[in-house]
Chain A
Amino acid sequence: MLDRKKDIRNLSFPFRLFVISAAVYSLLGVLVAGLWNLQMVHGKKFRTLSEENRLKLIPVSPPRGIIYDRNMAILVDNQPSFNVGVIPEEIDDIETVSETLGKALTIPAKSVREMIAGSGRRKFEIVPLKKDVDRKTATFLEERKTIIPGLVVQLEARRNYVLGNFASHLLGYVGEISADELERLKESGYRRGDIIGKFGIEKFHNEKIMGTRGWKWRVVNVLGKEVISDVPLLFKAKEPVAGDSVVLTIDKNIQKAAEDALGDRKGAVVAMDPRNGDILALASSPGFDPNIFSHKGKGAEIRSIFTDERSVMMNRATQGGYPLGSVFKLVIAVAALEEGVIKPETRLSCGGAFRLPGGNAVFRCWRAGGHGSLDLINAIKNSCNVYFYQTGVKLGIDRIEKYSRLLGFGGRTGIDLPYETAGFVPSEDWKKKTFGEKWYPGESAVISIGQGYLQVTPLQVAAGVAAIANGGSYYRPRLLKGVLGGKGEVDEFEPVVEKNLNVSGENLRLIREGMWKVVNEDGGTARKARIEGFGVCGKTGTAQTVSRNSKVQGEKRQPHAWFAGFAPFENPSIAIAVFVEHGGYGGNVAAPIARKVLAAALGVKEDVVAGL
């Protein structure tokens, strides 16, 4: 046992232990030196800070970026808003103060007293009494601050949607970050109390628009009163960094025309520039006024639009999947020409009805007597069902699915808005998995006229038509034209070509001709979209929503009205999709809406439009 001690000493253990001890004691020495520095060298400074002057850190919200339309018209900016509160520790006479403030803020004095007396706060914290007070009251109270010790009037920026109920789903709204969102976003630097976008572009581009929080040190004395201190502050303030201001692709005038044309009806309009994917207008009706989310005390209004049975908060242009009706015939036309199932001169016969070989079901055309013998262009012009039943059945569901997806259906377009839905394109696989049945040719017929399982969004329709209009480039629809740089110049983004359709230009041209006839020739289904001299082209759709023997009554029996088109015929500069929920016939209801919007876009005089 005792020998071990000798062993220990032999291996230079004493030295090692000495080194370790020295190291440890040096560390302790470093600590003492640090304490000396903090407490003796700088002690007085800290003492002053902590006792006579207390530092409180006030976060300063960054100004949110302004949202402009493509012509720099302001759509969303920030306005000053006043909040009134008190610091209870500073109040000398609670009764009088409650009376005075209660009167000024139109709150019962009793409630004011209760709020002041409430517990559960840190000392010297401000108790908010009323937010978003009008300027007059704020000035009135601010002037009386010296005789109401403890009163605090704070200036805050409020998000202001300049035109009220205008492009509401597209712009979105802002609000305080919720507990759930905070949980998810904490790692990215968000804090409790941050104002973030909750919907629309405000949400999608929140990172850009929000800016960076700043802070300032507020020096208060032992009574909690803010003082101008000449004690040099040891810690610097930081200016908040304003969020980026953004320029949208939206044109205010076209958007207004779209919203006016839709009026009170439920539906959506999407207008897009087929040359670059710019969204010129994206309207969903009914809309709401996003300002109610920025103002305080609008709880009732907010609740009512969320519970409104007309689904006010839904962006029908991007969040709703609907049957498309005859507009879908354009997809069948593209597929048929590309696959060689139909040639431009192929004539098929329509006698008013179509029967599958060996089948019992009868598929009718909308024209009881039939259209006679038609080629493709005229089949489009007249929207002949039978022509497309036959063509669709020949194509088969696999090819129909392929071209549907090619033209952007069944998938998200990637527009910069949250909650976009992909719609739905059926397939044989899907049917087998879901219903355990194979796909029947009759179902191909049904789909060819845009009925059946197919579900599309108005945005998808606009983007698809745009690709047909520009000769085969599918652009990603986009809302952000650019970001405002420091000197007022706009940093523009490049348009994105999502894909090339790789479809023959000749075939697309043929279809465009058909679409021209739909609007401009007698017998075409969309004469109500015609603007003399402007070469409007399009396709109507009237999508049945209930079966003939359904028990549904009233408005919901009505079919959806659709119109999809572009103008002018040569070098189209605008593509459009109009959707009116349970609106009736496409040609009657959707086409005139399209005309009004196209007129605004093409700069057609008001009286010319009215005269048509």
Chain B
Amino acid sequence: MKTIRKKFISRLDQPLIVSVLAISAIGVSTIYSATHQSLQASVSGYPARQMIWMLLGLSLMVTVLFVDTKTIRKISPYLYPPLILILIGVLLFGKTSLGAKRWFALGPLTVQPSEFAKIVVIMALASYLSARKTTVRYFSTVIISLLIVAVPTLLVMKQPDLGTAMTFLPIFLVMVLAAGARVGHLVALCAAGLSAAPALWFMLKDYQKSRIMTFLNPESDPLGSGYSIIQSKIAVGSGELLGKGWMKGTQTQLNFLPEQYTDFIFSAIGEEWGFVGAVLLILLFAVIIARGIRIAWKANDDFGYLLAVGIVALISFHVFVNIGMAIGFLPVTGLPLPFVTYGGSSILAMMLSVGLLLNIRVWRD
């Protein structure tokens, strides 16, 4: 028993765990800085709440470690139908906020199912593809994979939550590529997708269109959607090399930044910790990604391999889009920065995904 436990513990990927904890700590302290002077009473409890979510997430992570990867692989497909039902459910019964139905209200808590949808889709897709190692070269397999991803994507788009819906596509491409699909097929799919893009443009709601237009020229609407981008750039840029110091970021403290504890939390980090701090944060994420790739490389079986690849894609995409938005490089999307952005569902889902990564390594035999 003891030796098994020792083996277990020694196989926990320490750099991964340490990075996650470090990033989370940065997250909580930044949230504290961004909210302690806020005029909204409700917001002042956020750092504490974030820590609670973190602890819950950590326990979730630990729990997942006790389940054999093979078992996880077996149950993955069974998680998919309930997910679809829940996504439909949120459309019908969800709480509406700012014109979107993305959340369930459970008493004082709000749950955002789309965050968990990302994990479930990765698991389901990994399970599907790992069983089709030989047939992955066929276009039909690729199409079915696309469908597995497309259904939740469309349901999320209807909420409407364009930002989250967008994350499924790169995950799909990366996982299918990693699984061995023919590059030609993927290129064809992308071409088809691009040609359908103009039609999709018309399906977008006005505010989504204006977000894209404003991204292309933030100065065209500085009072509306352009405001966030402009203020964020000022905040990040003004951090210069070493930042202004914790709790001393003037843009943040004076509430120039909208949504500064959620979407634009990175702007606060950029302002208060400067280039050094921001790059440090990115390096920590790079560690997580590197460890994730290593876990994929050394995985026993296809399922573990694909699961790890999917999670790496998930985390990278979020990091890229969120930080990219904060530096004015990408349109405003509302995607959270993993482990940093305030939000229970995001924290839990990300902790769970790291738990799965650890799991793959721990149960490797």
Contact partner of B237 among A13, A39, A191, CB < 8 A? A39
A46 touches B297 (CB 8 A): no
Contact partner of A39 among B227, B240, B323, CB < 8 A? B240
B286 touches A50 (CB 8 A): no
Given contacts A43-B238, A44-B240, 5 further A-B contacts (CB under 8 A): A16-B178, A16-B180, A39-B240, A40-B275, A187-B207
A17 touches B178 (CB 8 A): yes
Q: Bound complex: CA of A87 vs CA of B45, how far in Å?
A: 30
Contact partner of A16 among B177, B250, B301, B324, CB < 8 A? B177
B275 touches A39 (CB 8 A): yes
B223 touches A57 (CB 8 A): yes
A-B contact pairs, 14 of them (CB 8 A): A11-B180, A13-B178, A16-B177, A16-B180, A17-B296, A28-B285, A31-B319, A35-B275, A35-B327, A39-B237, A39-B274, A43-B241, A57-B227, A122-B39
Q: In the complex, how many angstroms separate the beta carbon of A94 from the nearest chain B beta carbon? A: 21
A residues 27-75 in Cβ contact with B at 8 Å: 27-28, 30-32, 34-36, 38-40, 42-47, 49-51, 54-55, 57, 59
- Interface segment among A2-10, A333-341, A343-351: the answer is A2-10
- Interface segment among B14-22, B86-94, B228-236: the answer is B228-236
B297 touches A17 (CB 8 A): yes
**A57 to chain B: which residues have CB within 8 Å?**
222-223, 227
Question: What is the chain B residue whose CB lies nearest that of A222?
Answer: B250
A20 touches B275 (CB 8 A): no
Residues of B at the A interface (CB closer than 8 Å) are 39, 133, 174, 177-178, 180, 205-207, 219, 222-224, 227, 230, 233-241, 250-251, 254-256, 270-271, 274-275, 278-279, 282, 285-286, 289, 293, 296-297, 300-302, 305, 309, 312-313, 316, 319-320, 323-324, 327-329, 365
Q: Bound complex: CA of A44 vs CA of B237, how far in Å?
A: 8
Given contacts A21-B293, A39-B236, contact A215 B250 (CB under 8 A): no
A120 within 8 A of B: yes
Q: In the complex, how many angstroms separate the beta carbon of B295 from the nearest chain A beta carbon? A: 11
B327 touches A31 (CB 8 A): yes
Q: In the complex, how many angstroms separate the beta carbon of A11 from the nearest chain B beta carbon? A: 5
A106 within 8 A of B: no
Given contacts A17-B309, A35-B275, A47-B238, contact A235 B222 (CB under 8 A): yes
Q: In the complex, how many angstroms separate the beta carbon of B100 from the nearest chain A beta carbon? A: 14
B305 touches A8 (CB 8 A): yes
A43 touches B237 (CB 8 A): yes
B312 touches A24 (CB 8 A): yes
Q: In the complex, how many angstroms separate the beta carbon of A232 from the nearest chain B beta carbon? A: 14
**B206 to chain A: which residues have CB within 8 Å?**
187
Contact partner of B278 among A11, A35, A47, CB < 8 A? A35
Question: What is the chain A residue whose CB lies nearest that of B271?
Answer: A50
Q: Bound complex: CA of A308 vs CA of B207, how far in Å?
A: 42
B233 touches A8 (CB 8 A): no
Q: In the complex, how many angstroms separate the beta carbon of B230 from the nearest chain A beta carbon? A: 6
Contact partner of B309 among A20, A32, A120, CB < 8 A? A20
Q: In the complex, how many angstroms separate the beta carbon of A195 from the nearest chain B beta carbon? A: 16
Q: Bound complex: CA of A44 vs CA of B177, how far in Å?
A: 43
B240 touches A47 (CB 8 A): yes
Q: In the complex, how many angstroms separate the beta carbon of A322 from the nearest chain B beta carbon? A: 42
Q: In the complex, how many angstroms separate the beta carbon of B69 from the nearest chain A beta carbon? A: 12
A50 touches B324 (CB 8 A): no
Q: Bound complex: CA of A485 vs CA of B339, how far in Å?
A: 57
**B323 to chain A: which residues have CB within 8 Å?**
31
A236 touches B319 (CB 8 A): no
**A124 to chain B: which residues have CB within 8 Å?**
254
Q: In the complex, how many angstroms separate the beta carbon of B284 from the nearest chain A beta carbon? A: 11
User: What total of A-B pairs shows CB separation below 8 Å?
Assistant: 145
Q: In the complex, how many angstroms separate the beta carbon of B361 from the nearest chain A beta carbon? A: 15
Q: Bound complex: CA of A20 vs CA of B313, how far in Å?
A: 9
**B237 to chain A: which residues have CB within 8 Å?**
38-39, 42-43, 45-47
A235 touches B219 (CB 8 A): yes
**B233 to chain A: which residues have CB within 8 Å?**
38, 46
Q: Bound complex: CA of A59 vs CA of B222, how far in Å?
A: 10
Q: In the complex, how many angstroms separate the beta carbon of B65 from the nearest chain A beta carbon? A: 20
A12 within 8 A of B: yes
Q: Bound complex: CA of A497 vs CA of B165, how far in Å?
A: 50
Q: Bound complex: CA of A5 vs CA of B364, how far in Å?
A: 12
**B223 to chain A: which residues have CB within 8 Å?**
57, 59, 191, 213, 215
**A42 to chain B: which residues have CB within 8 Å?**
237
B234 touches A28 (CB 8 A): no
Question: What is the chain A residue whose CB lies nearest that of B243?
Answer: A39
**B312 to chain A: which residues have CB within 8 Å?**
20, 24
**A610 to chain B: which residues have CB within 8 Å?**
none
**B305 to chain A: which residues have CB within 8 Å?**
8, 13
Given contacts A16-B178, A31-B320, A46-B234, contact A39 B241 (CB under 8 A): yes
10 A-B pairs with the lowest CB-CB distances in the bound complex, closest first: A46-B237, A43-B240, A50-B238, A46-B238, A38-B237, A39-B275, A47-B238, A24-B316, A34-B327, A27-B320
Contact partner of A50 among B222, B235, B320, CB < 8 A? B235
Q: In the complex, how many angstroms separate the beta carbon of A572 from the nearest chain B beta carbon? A: 48
A28 touches B286 (CB 8 A): yes
Question: What is the chain A residue whose CB lies nearest that of B276?
Answer: A39
B279 touches A32 (CB 8 A): yes
Q: Bound complex: CA of A50 vs CA of B206, how far in Å?
A: 32
B180 touches A27 (CB 8 A): no
Q: Bound complex: CA of A124 vs CA of B301, how far in Å?
A: 61
Q: In the complex, how many angstroms separate the beta carbon of A3 from the nearest chain B beta carbon? A: 10
Q: Bound complex: CA of A13 vs CA of B39, how far in Å?
A: 53
**A16 to chain B: which residues have CB within 8 Å?**
177-178, 180
Q: In the complex, how many angstroms separate the beta carbon of B298 from the nearest chain A beta carbon? A: 9
B282 touches A32 (CB 8 A): yes
A1 within 8 A of B: yes
Q: Bound complex: CA of A553 vs CA of B285, how far in Å?
A: 86
A123 within 8 A of B: yes
Q: Which of A21, A24, A28, A51 has the most CB of B within 10 A?
A: A24
A25 within 8 A of B: yes
**B251 to chain A: which residues have CB within 8 Å?**
50
B250 touches A51 (CB 8 A): yes
Q: In the complex, how many angstroms separate the beta carbon of A216 from the nearest chain B beta carbon? A: 10
**A7 to chain B: which residues have CB within 8 Å?**
133
Q: Bound complex: CA of A213 vs CA of B221, how far in Å?
A: 10
B297 touches A55 (CB 8 A): no
**A34 to chain B: which residues have CB within 8 Å?**
324, 327, 329
Q: Bound complex: CA of A27 vs CA of B323, how far in Å?
A: 11
A123 touches B316 (CB 8 A): no
A5 touches B300 (CB 8 A): yes
Q: Bound complex: CA of A44 vs CA of B324, how far in Å?
A: 21
Q: In the complex, how many angstroms separate the beta carbon of B171 from the nearest chain A beta carbon? A: 11
Q: Bound complex: CA of A28 vs CA of B282, how far in Å?
A: 7
**A47 to chain B: which residues have CB within 8 Å?**
237-238, 240
A residues 119-163 in Cβ contact with B at 8 Å: 120, 122-124
Q: Which of A49, A50, A55 has the most CB of B within 10 A?
A: A50
Q: In the complex, how many angstroms separate the beta carbon of B362 from the nearest chain A beta carbon? A: 16
Q: Bound complex: CA of A535 vs CA of B24, how far in Å?
A: 91
**A38 to chain B: which residues have CB within 8 Å?**
233, 236-237, 270, 327-328
Question: What is the chain A residue whose CB lies nearest that of B312?
Answer: A24
Contact partner of B254 among A14, A28, A35, A123, CB < 8 A? A123
Q: In the complex, how many angstroms separate the beta carbon of B344 from the nearest chain A beta carbon? A: 26
Q: Bound complex: CA of A36 vs CA of B205, how far in Å?
A: 34
Contact partner of A122 among B230, B255, B289, B316, CB < 8 A? B255
A279-303 vs B, CB cutoff 8 Å, 1 = contact: the mask equals 0000000000000000000000000
